[in-house]
A and B are shown apart, each in its own frame.
Chain A
Amino acid sequence: MSVNKETLLDIIECMQKNITANRSYLSDLDREIGDGDHGINMDRGFQEVMKKMDEMKNQDLAGILRTTGMTLAFKVGGASGPLYGTAFMKASDVLKGKNEIVIEDLPVLLDAGISGIQMRGKAEQNEKTMLDALIPAKTALEEALAGGSNSEKAIKAMLDACAAGAEYTKTIKATKGRASYIGERSIGHMDPGAASSLILLQSIAEVIQ
């Protein structure tokens, strides 16, 4: 796996396409346990990112992630804006001075993004948030690479763990965010942030494989 500027822009475009396609699905999930706007918000944010495409074509890898993060933070309008925005901006710091992302960089990028989300949202794993999808995904990717898997297998392991993590959020009670206000009744529903995290990671895989 090798991701250059053009591929990174393709990944971001693919994220937008998949978020837009899943706009109703994400809002429906949010309507069950929150305020029902996660799909609308994420779609608005990524549509705004697409408006920055010309600007991003003249930026390096770090600049592209930074612009994406800033745009999401400013334009999403819900909690996922500052969360994903901070994640992209922290990942951008890892890419400073680089012209290529290789598979070994991916867990480092995810780790930076996860730290950003934790810093911003002050959440831990098992609170029914996007972290329950992202942290297992990162761990599975690290373990697969450490075990000698090639990039294709490692990315599959990452996606499987992410999907399992998103499913797992159905089984637990929310203790963070608006879903925590409904207590036990949040059990049985997937966290919308975990669902959108899975879509974003699937978009990465869709482009690089």
Chain B
Amino acid sequence: MVGILLVSHVQSLADGVKDLAKMIAPAVPIISVGGLPDGSPGTDVERIYSGLNEADQGDGVMIFMDLGSAVMSTEMALEFEPNDKHIMQNAPIVEGTIIAASAIQAGNTLEEACNLVESQKNVDKF
């Protein structure tokens, strides 16, 4: 099954998105990473790298990030062991994660789930 990695500047934000996604996708492996090892806000390449390996069950990982350094730190973590099935998602972290989690739970492949996120990430809220 495709995994999801959430990268935020704060652990509670990543955990909250995970809790929300788990409601609709209990079977999907979702790993939430946030903040620095001492608990202060920031992004930590090493923690992202470990989270990536945890989320990977062999069918790929979709990665959602909050802002700025979360994106750059994730890029660096991905460069250690390049894997074309580890895919950063250019989507809002909440909307994107929910779309991906639903898609994976329903049996979509990595490619299908990525396409679903891409096509629905900008749907208006109202």
Contact = CB atoms under 8 A, between A and B. Distances in A.
B72 A121 contact: yes
A177 interface: yes
Interface string A80-91: 111101100000
Nearest to A82: B72
Contacts of B41: 35, 37
A5 interface: no
Contacts of A86: 76
B46 A78 contact: no
A186 B27 CA distance: 45
A82 B76 contact: yes
Contact of B72 (A35, A41, A74, A79): A79
A120 interface: yes
Interface in A27-84: 35, 37, 41, 73-74, 77-83
A178 interface: yes
Interface of A is mostly: helix
Contact of B42 (A41, A83, A178): A41
Interface string B13-39: 000000000000000000000001000
A180 to B, nearest CB: 10
Contact of A77 (B36, B67, B75): B36
A37 B42 CA distance: 9
A120 B75 CA distance: 8
Contacts of A37: 41-42
B45 interface: yes
Interface of A: 35, 37, 41, 73-74, 77-83, 85-86, 120-121, 177-178
Interface of B: 36, 40-46, 67-69, 72-73, 75-76
27 contacts: A37-B41, A37-B42, A41-B42, A73-B73, A73-B76, A74-B44, A74-B46, A77-B36, A77-B40, A77-B42, A77-B43, A78-B43, A78-B69, A79-B69, A79-B72, A80-B69, A81-B45, A81-B72, A82-B45, A82-B69, A82-B73, A82-B75, A86-B76, A120-B72, A120-B75, A177-B68, A178-B67
